[in-house]
Structure 1
């Protein structure tokens, strides 16, 4: 029987790095009977040139978010043609799809449209989970780095998580993918030892010659330390224009690469919201352990306030960013950081 692997989330568990790695290995995977469709190579190359790891996967992203009107002409048909090729080719035994929005997608019709288009076969839903507070913090930081000034207290994903947690989302996706076999992994477990890509590739049964290249695959996302994310939020709130914001973000990213180590993570959410997230996660841990047999690590409230930058913090950040800023961006940065 043919096998279909749906890597459905979570976001911020190495999904972009995984997708980029699989996209680079399409020929090697196909030689082993594994199809990882990349029907829009032009989008992939454009995204890679712009430093956007998921540009090549945009059709699937917009589909499961129920934005089919945003698809380019023929884009979805290119995917369904790949599905048909998989069904017809006896040398192909595994179809792999990776789209991290499937688990938490609030518009089930998008996932159903994808599932209904898939060929027959054993369906495996693969999920990588991580402690909720750290995961939500990473999601919020990604928004800020992209220029969205949403306050942590108003972060919609945090409030959506409180409505049912991971357990409810898992039940929903299993309803959307009937007869699926669920495979759950802990992000912390996969990230240990030989590293996330190697352990994930081995867990889903990729061939060893492909796994060997996972050990040296470049990272897609580098992130920023929390003090730099807090500084970007301050830029947003100060109304810095987009060109200056992009320049400051780039300067901080370059400065971050020069740092030796990272500052300890601290809390970004208000105390009551932090406690509610931790309580919801503890309930999740019990449900997932009792019903799905996976042990996720406990999570404690982090110390301090990540968004409270002291004068010494600002002085350090000014000194780190200054070598990488133009005069115009420096003037905007000075208005915020002084």
Structure 2
């Protein structure tokens, strides 16, 4: 039996780690009858080997792209593995969800097997905001993300669209329960033992920012937008072991979000196994730089530093960023980044790490 295996994310559920795990175990997977092909745009096999990167971004863009990939790629004995966070929003909003299974059957696969990870909402919304600041040039306040957060609605839509199809199976786990054993979740999906897989070379991938790093990043973003990711990329790549800081808004903001999504949680949890269900855990509010915290640089100093550096970088780049540089910034594949669309799926394209 050969399956089309799709790891669809969603975002901020250990995706980078799982993609690094798949990439570094390509030869191991091949011995077990699986194929995890390199991304079509990647020229060098070892390029950014320490960074998790999916191989399914192109196929996720449209049914036509998926059909072309399946047509051109030999069918492995046990399955073809594709991974991209972009699968989740694209498939969840597809006008004809049955088409995915049809394309797989036409290509000779017996079924589509989907690995979907979810995450408890408060920690997920906070993590998405951090990713938005890190990689998308974001400056919108944390509270705005909690007001707009609607990922569970998309999860429900996804499960309703694909959960009952005869030739589609979904393996779902809650990242909040399984953060420490992601390799076990992947191995179980593939029918392997966790010890069969080699650990990624870098154990911490795509970490968050510290309080000071976040304050500096926000100030830089305000001047040069998405180009500001040069700072966070360097910090997270060179210093992956640094402990990040999770920022949470006031509990009243957290409760308002949970109350708004309560009907969705009830419908979703009826579909989920007990251990994987959403939990409405509240977190203590955490600001960027509390007044009682001793820092070598104050938040004001960091803002000034980020602003001055950003202005100089902008001048050096001779870019034509308008005075409202907080406006959306175009991504590598044309996606426009705003607070609104950053929380509804992947916060950025995976091409380029």
Q: What is the TM-score when the length of structure 1 is the normalising length?
A: 0.69
Residue 141 of structure 1, CA deviation: 1.2
* Contact residue 44 and residue 56 of structure 1 kept, 8 A: no
| 1:96-245 map, 5 Å | 96-105=81-90, 107-109=93-95, 114-119=100-105, 120-146=109-135, 147-155=137-145, 158-161=148-151, 164=153, 166-174=155-163, 179-192=167-180, 195-196=181-182, 198-208=183-193, 211-214=196-199, 218-226=203-211, 228-237=213-222, 239-240=223-224, 245=228
Q: Helix, strand or coil for the counterpart of 2:82?
A: strand
Residue 131 of structure 1, CA deviation: 0.3
Q: Helix, strand or coil for the counterpart of 1:148?
A: coil
Aligned residue in 2 for 1:30: 30
User: For residues 6 and 238 of structure 2, what CA distance do their matches in structure 1 show?
Assistant: 37
Distance 1:184 1:252, change over 3 A: closer
Residue 180 of structure 1, CA deviation: 1.8
Q: Is residue 11 of structure 1 aligned with residue 11 of structure 2?
A: yes
Which protein has the bigger helix share? 1
Q: Which has the higher contact order (CA 8 A, sep 6+)?
A: 2
* Contact residue 80 and residue 117 of structure 1 kept, 8 A: no
Unaligned runs of at least 5 residues, structure 1 = 334-338
Q: Helix, strand or coil for the counterpart of 2:206?
A: coil
* Contact residue 225 and residue 256 of structure 1 kept, 8 A: no
Q: Helix, strand or coil for the counterpart of 2:274?
A: coil
Equivalent of 1:302 in 275, 283, 287: 283
Q: Helix, strand or coil for the counterpart of 2:270?
A: helix
* Contact residue 15 and residue 100 of structure 1 kept, 8 A: yes
Unaligned runs of at least 5 residues, structure 2 = 314-353
